[in-house]
Amino acid sequence: MTQSSIPASRAHLSEPTFAMPISAIGNAAVYAGPDAPVVVVAEDDDDLRTLLILTLGQRYTVFAVSDGVLALDLLLKIRKPAAMLLDINMPRVDGLTVAARLKEHPGLRSIPVLFLTARDSPEDMRAGFETGARCYLTKPFRSQDLLEKLAGIIAQTAILPNPS
């Protein structure tokens, strides 16, 4: 992986540094610093995934992928994330299945899941919370609401003991 640097003329803007480029298959990472919590994003819409990377990358180290298979694979390769942001409607493996698989894995079950999805029926929300999701936000959404919910969940998780 190559790391690009921020031009000197823009260094004061505290932009995220991309550790991997945003690619056609939708994999990207933003490194926000050694102490920044890690957030994994699984979102199949390229534009929204890019927006999430840029929004979250100001505060978090973000790994973003375009489907559930890539998300599950990524979780086994990086340090344990502070949270996972999942769309429900994704190719190959949907977000509900990803969340359910997390809860089955001893090393991953304590990762808090936040759903960010267009599915807004009471049945969809119930299904999301039944998989153990800590938050369920619907699209369209306000970036500030997402940042506040994510920060609260990460802070709360940091003070709770890990479930076994």
Taking only the tens place, the pLDDT of each residue in 21-52 is 433 335 666 766 678 899 999 999 999 999 99
What confidence category does residue 58 fall into, taking pLDDT thresholds of 50, 70 and 90? Answer: confident
Class of domain 15-157: alpha beta
Edge to edge, what strands does the sheet with 28-31 contain? 17-20, 28-31, 61-65, 38-42, 83-86, 113-117, 135-138
In one-letter notation, the amino acid at residue 9 is S
What confidence category does residue 157 fall into, taking pLDDT thresholds of 50, 70 and 90? Answer: confident
Mean pLDDT of 93-110: 91
DSSP class of residue 13?
G
Q: Which pLDDT value is given to residue 77?
A: 84
Mean pLDDT of 110-132: 94
Residue 108: is its pLDDT beyond 50?
yes
